Amino acid sequence: MNFRPQADSEPEINLIPFIDVLLVILIFLMLTTTYSRFNELQLTLPLANAEQLSERPQEITVAIDAGGQYAIDGQLLGKATPSQLTAELRQFASSRPEAILIISADAMASHQSVISVMEAARNAGLVRVTFATQAASGD
- Model pLDDT for residues 81-135, shown as the tens digit of each residue: 888 888 888 888 888 778 888 888 887 888 888 898 899 988 888 888 888 877 6
DSSP 77: E
Cα-based distances in Å from 55 to 52, 59, 76, 92: 9, 9, 21, 17
Helix residue ranges, H only, 1-138: 16-32, 82-95, 111-124
Three-state secondary structure call for residue 96: coil
Q: Average pLDDT in the 40-59 region?
A: 58
Domain ranges of the chain: 59-131
Give the separation between CA 21 and CA 13, rounded to whole angstroms. Answer: 15
Helices and strands: H and E segment counts in the chain: 3, 5
Q: Using 50, 70 and 90 to split pLDDT, how confident is the model at 43?
A: very low
76, pLDDT greater than 80: yes
Domain 59-131: top CATH class: alpha beta
22, pLDDT greater than 90: yes
Cβ(66)–Cβ(113) below 8 Å: no
